[in-house]
């Protein structure tokens, strides 16, 4: 299943993916990439049994993106 | 010829009676060692006579008188022995009949005389034996029956004061007066009493009922009935402890004995206003690796030791979740942790049944190091219904930080 994962969680016991349950847009355009550059990537790897989630607030992500620019 | 004539003359002289015996014309006749006069005088010797003549005379009887000892002897040619003739001549018998009987009977050996009439060898005097054979009042000595026993339809013992005593000596040499015997007797109340060697008295009596009373003299307690058996244990009791416990417990009541075994995840308590038997209430303490859903905002801390523990006592549950990471997160200001799936279901307070309704407050903290004191990430939160309202989660809000650990402690109630 295609998902957005936190890069530094790969190969740890806390494989972390972005909670997309409330997101309906294109995955590559997800605002988390702008808010946290180089921290997330898209993966189609199978998910492990235990995963950790990153939740977000669109408004906060946009603010973080502006701060990063 | 001359020899023949001589022979014939000798033979003729031997056969022919040349002389005829003539009676002695004078009074008396005398020969060697004997004489016939007014008396017959016989051979007189000193001591036991002997026959000095040829052998053929020993075949005839003979008499002689021992003048030294005044003994008359007769000779028995059959046995070739001399025998002194004893006995006196007739005289007036002045001995009484009893004396003559005594001469016939060895009266000094009275015990032997009576032996065949007695049942045992008895060396006591005749009068004593008679006394023993004939009961009479006023006996002044003991009667020793030896190994024999007394058999009677009834047996009565009367003492001088009316209280008969039966003494059981501990051994033959024991004296009753020194307490070396056990005495059994009946007192004036008709109670049977006995005294042991230590002069301790005990009473054995019966009530009107069939119950028996046994009194321990010089003791402060009396066994009145079986209930007194619970008074105390004999310190000399050599029974094992387990045996004594079995005696104390109604081992037939196995249900109570099994009270030490109770249902799983429970403890015994009385949650009522009155005394009552203990009831099993829920109790459980468990812990493990946390595998529920964790959601951070920002970038999540990674590579963690995620553990939890909860304890339930009755309806109260205290839970602690510890999330310790090796890599810190960033921009973290919200943490949502699902209630472990094995935790008791929280009881929803009235009016808090909708999604995301807070149910119970929690104490939590999110920290940037494992050693730091409380940081600005100290937070408050709640145990709440989850978004789908089909579960429960802990939700913490705090000042954004780079979290490296988070701790959650919450006490809630379950139905």
**Percentage, residues of chain B above pLDDT 70:** 66
CA distance B157 to B166: 8
Interchain pair A52, B294: CB under 8 A: yes
CA distance B94 to B117: 34
Distance from CA of A8 to the nearest CA of B (A): 7
Higher model confidence: residue B106 or residue B264? B264
Q: Look-up: residue for tokens 């020969």? A: B31
Q: Which of residues 321-380 of B touch A (CB under 8 A)?
A: 325, 327, 330-331, 334, 336
CA distance B29 to A28: 203
SS3 state at B343: coil
Chain A residue closest in CA terms to B400? A60
Tens of pLDDT along A51-61?
999 999 888 88
Residue B169 pairs in a beta bridge with B181
Tens of pLDDT along B141-183?
777 777 787 777 777 777 666 667 777 777 777 776 666 777 7
| HSE-up of residue B292 (Cα within 13 Å, Cβ side) | 22
| Under 8 Å between Cβ of B294 and A53 | yes
Q: Which residues of B touch A53 (CB under 8 A)?
A: 293-296, 300
**A43-50 long-range contacts, Cβ below 8 Å, gap at least 24?**
A43/A2, A43/A3, A43/A4, A43/A5, A43/A10, A44/A1, A44/A2, A44/A3, A45/A5, A46/A1, A47/A1, A47/A3, A47/A15, A47/A17, A48/A15, A49/B291, A50/A13, A50/A14, A50/A15, A50/B291
**Residue B339: its pLDDT value, please?**
97
Closest in B300, B334, B336 to A14, CB measured: B300
**Residue A15: its pLDDT value, please?**
96
CA distance B93 to B270: 124
Picking from B139, B130, B145, the residue whose alpha carbon sits closest to that of residue B160 is: B139
- Interface pTM (ipTM) of the complex? 0.90
CA distance B183 to B161: 15
**Residue B328: its pLDDT value, please?**
94
Higher model confidence: residue A63 or residue B197? A63
Whether residue B103 has pLDDT greater than 50: yes
Lowest mean pLDDT of A28-37, B121-130, B237-246, B301-310, name the range.
B121-130
Higher model confidence: residue A17 or residue B118? A17
Tens of pLDDT along B29-65?
677 777 777 788 888 889 988 877 655 556 778 888 9
Question: Which of the four pLDDT bands, split at 50, 70 and 90, describes residue B393?
Answer: very high
CA distance B360 to B328: 28
Higher model confidence: residue A8 or residue B57? A8
Whether residue B260 has pLDDT greater than 50: yes
- Tally the residues of chain A: 69
A68 φ/ψ angles, rounded to the nearest 5 degrees: -80, -20
pTM above 0.80, yes or no: no
Mean pLDDT over B7-32 rounds to 69
Residue of B290, B291, B295, B298 to mutate, interface with A, max A Cβ within 10 Å: B298
Mean pLDDT over B390-399 rounds to 92
**Percentage, residues of chain B above pLDDT 90:** 30
**Residue B231: its pLDDT value, please?**
47
Q: Look-up: residue for tokens 């090796």? A: B326
Q: What is the CA radius of gyration of chain A?
A: 12
**Residue B81: its pLDDT value, please?**
87
């Amino acid at each position: 299943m295609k998902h957005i994962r936190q890069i530094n969680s790969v190969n740890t016991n806390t494989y972390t993916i972005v909670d997309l349950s409330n997101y309906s847009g294109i995955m590559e355009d997800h605002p988390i990439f702008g808010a946290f550059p180089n921290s997330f990537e898209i993966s189609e790897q199978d998910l492990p049994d235990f995963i950790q989630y990153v939740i977000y607030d669109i408004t906060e992500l946009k603010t973080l993106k502006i701060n990063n620019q | 010829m001359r020899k023949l004539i001589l022979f014939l003359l000798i033979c003729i002289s031997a056969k022919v009676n040349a002389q005829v015996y003539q009676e002695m014309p004078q009074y008396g006749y005398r020969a060697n060692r004997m004489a016939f006069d007014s008396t017959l005088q016989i051979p007189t010797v000193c001591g036991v006579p002997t026959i000095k003549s040829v052998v053929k005379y020993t075949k005839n009887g003979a008499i002689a008188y021992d003048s030294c000892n005044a003994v008359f002897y007769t000779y028995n040619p059959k046995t070739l022995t001399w025998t002194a003739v004893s006995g006196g001549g007739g005289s007036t018998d002045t001995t009484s009949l009893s004396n003559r009987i005594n001469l016939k009977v060895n009266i000094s050996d009275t015990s032997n005389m009576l032996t065949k009439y007695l049942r045992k060898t008895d060396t006591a005097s005749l009068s004593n034996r008679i006394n023993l054979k004939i009961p009479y009042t006023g006996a002044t000595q003991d009667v020793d029956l030896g190994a024999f026993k007394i058999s009677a339809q009834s047996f009565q013992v009367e003492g001088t004061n009316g209280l008969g005593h039966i003494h059981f000596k501990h051994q033959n040499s024991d004296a009753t007066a020194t307490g070396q015997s056990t005495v059994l007797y009946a007192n004036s109340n008709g109670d049977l009493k006995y005294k042991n060697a230590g002069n301790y008295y005990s009473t054995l009596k019966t009530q009107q009922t069939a119950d028996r009373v046994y009194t321990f003299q010089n003791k402060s307690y009396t066994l009145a009935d079986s209930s007194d058996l619970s008074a105390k244990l004999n310190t000399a009791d050599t029974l094992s402890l387990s045996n004594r416990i079995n005696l104390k417990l109604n081992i037939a009541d196995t249900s109570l004995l099994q009270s030490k075994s109770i249902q799983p995840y429970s403890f015994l308590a009385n949650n009522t206003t009155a005394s009552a038997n203990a009831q099993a209430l829920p109790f459980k303490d468990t812990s493990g690796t946390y595998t529920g859903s964790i959601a951070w905002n920002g970038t999540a801390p990674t590579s963690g030791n995620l553990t939890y523990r909860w304890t339930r006592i009755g309806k109260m549950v205290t839970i602690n979740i510890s999330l310790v990471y090796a890599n810190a997160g960033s921009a973290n200001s919200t943490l949502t942790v699902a209630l472990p799936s094995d935790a008791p279901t929280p009881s929803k307070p009235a009016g808090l049944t909708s999604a995301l309704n807070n149910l119970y407050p929690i104490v939590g903290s999110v920290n940037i190091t494992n050693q730091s004191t409380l940081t600005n990430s100290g937070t408050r939160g709640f145990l709440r219904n989850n978004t789908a309202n089909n579960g429960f989660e802990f939700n913490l809000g705090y000042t954004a930080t780079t979290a490296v650990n988070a701790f959650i402690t919450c006490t809630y109630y379950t139905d």
